Structure 1
Amino acid sequence: MEAPDMLRYKRIPLADGAGAIPAVGFGTLIPDASVTKQAVKAALAVGFRHLDCAERYRNEEAVGDAMREAFAAGTVRREDVFVTTKLWNTNHRPERVQPAFQASCQRLQVDYVDCYLIHTPFAFLPGDEQDPRDDRGQVIYDSEVKLIETWRALEQLVDSGQCRSIGLSDVTLEKLKEIVAVARIKPAVVQVEAHPYLPEWELLDFCREHGIVLLAFAALGHGMEPNLLDDPVITGIADRVNKTPAQVALAWAAQRGTAFLTTSVRPSRIEENFDISPLPDDAMQQIRDHIGTNIRFNSVVETGVPGFIPRAGSGQGSR
């Protein structure tokens, strides 16, 4: 078991010497820009050194403002912050990749990003409308581009030095295998939904085999039903180790070798999510052996359209 205070500062080396990604990450999917800025500043002040952003979130400027102010105040240095952002579905054509990337850099006010992800493997009709729909309300996909063509354009960003590592998001194991088989620069990071109710062990094993970091979003189940944080296995361990159920689920994520993301606008919750400590080995085994629920909360992996699946008694969000 790791030293009590070290799990929250854990960094996972990336393939090809592209640095290391902090296991504990802060997601920036927050609708209000002013709230985004304050939440990011709070996260950096608490100790988060990994910010996960996206063109799709429409708030990269607010994240950039928060980072600029933190850097100016001496709270943190740019080289200590791992910045991830993502290419949206409407920019999959190779000629659109670099302009989209540069626009993200400008909004984030950075000269480089540490990791650039393809947000989903689904290409949408290119253009300024992020959610192109036909007259029947159906998504208009782009059949003129293949995922490997988009990947080649990301490889060129690494070649240019503007981007230190690249990866994929919202992909199945099968789709990941397709890219790994033909990529010149292998994915460094794969971001997918993962939590004790969707542990993705097979995907994680493949990632380990190929030196890829699995980055978990919805690491706490996004507050959906059934509520992961009410699971008796999780709550029982929380009582035993004197931590909250959220801290148990997040420690499990980091301790099994993945990185994870959480999002909150409440300073107390932001601090709680960073304040994780290692779990006893038997607790790790208990989570693996005694949680039988298996459920996916976000349908984006099936269509490329963000959205948590509505169920009775749950809210709905997007990613």
Structure 2
Amino acid sequence: MSYEAFHDALRDSRFALNHGTGRMPAAGFGTLFRDLDLTTQAVGHALQAGFRHFDCAERYRNEDKVGVAIAEAIASGKVRREELFITTKLWNTNHRPERVAPAFEASCRRLQTDYIDCYLIHTPFAFEPGDNQDPRNAQGEVLYDAGVTLIETWRALERLVDEGRARSIGLSDITLPALQELVAEARIKPAVVQVESHPYLPEWELLEFCRAHGIILLAFAPLGHGMTPNVLEDAVLSGIAQRVQKTPAQVALAWSVQRGAAFLTTSTSVGHIRENFDISTLPVRAMVEIREEITTRVRFNSVVETGVPGFIARKP
């Protein structure tokens, strides 16, 4: 019997947030595109495919185009705002507490929403404040801001929760030691931690810490971002895909949700968008195979070391 022969609710999974009443859809759609002009159309396709979780950022420079797609869908009655989970991020140049609220309000205006479901600190690295998102010196080196600490920035995010504007808050591109330090000091604990994670970078230790503290681990590049070594060409994933009559991508995404991690995929292709949402529950045997038989370990994005994004979407 095919695993596609019955309805499977895995793609509709939602994870409870550790504060507030919200629930994050496990299947998320990322909005970082090489061609920003394709943003509105791609988000529209994702909404039509069934995605209700959208991951944005001021750094992506297309929040306004995401906002147009979402506003059109709401106005046409295809979806209600309450059904959506919108995440966006504070960029590195806005870490100083006095810059947080203005940056947040600007994101809300661009996204055409009165509140954000989850507001993340894009990276733990503070850059020199200003309008230039990538400040560098004459030698091309990043200009960091030594005048603010991560916990000071976090306190400003906590105030957004107090005011009801951000339903939840979290961090992106953070290491386990840095997260442990923040959790120990935070008044409002992070609800979400977004990091690179896939079968070649399972981040089991970080996932266990997040589970223990009720934090959702949100995986970006869950398919390896098309880089070498190619996750989707892995023999273990390919073998499982053949057995369950799914694609290697669908197997990798199902693995993510079943182990308790939400994921983000990005595409402008209608076919890929639909494929990435159409996931089904894997047999227990398959989950064990992926954990025990895939031994390749590689990180594709070096942002956790510098605060500078290591790749942008390159494939349609």
Matched, 1:46 2:49: yes
Distance 2:35 2:285 in 1: 41
1:316 Cα deviation after fit: 7.8
Q: 134, 137, 147: which is aligned to 2:137?
A: 134
Pairing of 1:292-303 with structure 2 (within 5 A):
292-303=295-306
Matched, 1:85 2:88: yes
Matched, 1:245 2:248: yes
**Which residue does 1:288 correspond to in 2?**
291
Matched, 1:101 2:104: yes
**Which residue does 1:312 correspond to in 2?**
none
Distance 1:28 1:206 in 2: 27
**Which residue does 1:181 correspond to in 2?**
184
Q: 232, 236, 244: which is aligned to 2:235?
A: 232
Distance 1:43 1:152 in 2: 34
Percent identity, aligned pairs only? Answer: 69
Distance 1:111 1:31 in 2: 28
**Which residue does 1:311 correspond to in 2?**
none
Q: 143, 146, 151: which is aligned to 1:148?
A: 151
**Which residue does 1:273 correspond to in 2?**
276
**Which residue does 1:11 correspond to in 2?**
14
Distance 1:316 1:197 in 2: 19
1:34 Cα deviation after fit: 2.8
Q: What is the letter of the counterpart of residue 170 of structure 1?
A: D
1:18 Cα deviation after fit: 3.7
Matched, 1:254 2:242: no
Q: What is the letter of the counterpart of residue 64 of structure 1?
A: G
Distance 2:149 2:247 in 1: 44
Q: State whether residues 18 and 165 of structure 1, in contact with CA within 8 Å, keep that contact through their aligned partners in structure 2.
A: no
3-state secondary structure, aligned to 1:5 = coil
Q: State whether residues 32 and 313 of structure 2, in contact with CA within 8 Å, keep that contact through their aligned partners in structure 1.
A: no
**Which residue does 1:214 correspond to in 2?**
217
- Map Cα deviations across residues 38-77 of structure 1 (whole Å, 9 max, x no partner): 0000000110000000000000000000000011111111
Q: What is the letter of the counterpart of residue 270 of structure 1?
A: I
1:17 Cα deviation after fit: 2.8
3-state secondary structure, aligned to 1:216 = strand
Q: State whether residues 198 and 294 of structure 1, in contact with CA within 8 Å, keep that contact through their aligned partners in structure 2.
A: yes
Q: State whether residues 20 and 167 of structure 2, in contact with CA within 8 Å, keep that contact through their aligned partners in structure 1.
A: no
Distance 1:276 1:126 in 2: 42
1:33 Cα deviation after fit: 3.1
3-state secondary structure, aligned to 1:145 = coil
1:301 Cα deviation after fit: 0.3
With normalisation by structure 1, the TM-score equals 0.96
Which blocks of at least 5 consecutive residues in structure 2 are unaligned? none
Q: What is the letter of the counterpart of residue 237 of structure 1?
A: I
Q: State whether residues 225 and 313 of structure 2, in contact with CA within 8 Å, keep that contact through their aligned partners in structure 1.
A: no
Distance 2:278 2:92 in 1: 35
Matched, 1:124 2:127: yes
**Which residue does 2:118 correspond to in 1?**
115
**Which residue does 2:202 correspond to in 1?**
199
**Which residue does 1:72 correspond to in 2?**
75
Q: State whether residues 31 and 57 of structure 1, in contact with CA within 8 Å, keep that contact through their aligned partners in structure 2.
A: no
3-state secondary structure, aligned to 1:174 = helix
Q: 27, 35, 40: which is aligned to 1:37?
A: 40
Q: What is the letter of the counterpart of residue 264 of structure 2?
A: L
1:28 Cα deviation after fit: 0.2
1:119 Cα deviation after fit: 0.2
Distance 2:36 2:109 in 1: 16
1:4 Cα deviation after fit: 4.4
- Map Cα deviations across residues 181-203 of structure 1 (whole Å, 9 max, x no partner): 01000000000000000000000
User: Judging changes above 3 Å, is the alpha-carbon distance between structure 1 residues 316 and 41 closer, same or farther for their aligned structure 2 residues?
Assistant: closer
Pairing of 1:148-167 with structure 2 (within 5 A):
148-167=151-170
Distance 2:77 2:195 in 1: 33
Q: How many correspondences in the alignment?
A: 311
Distance 1:172 1:207 in 2: 12
Matched, 1:25 2:28: yes
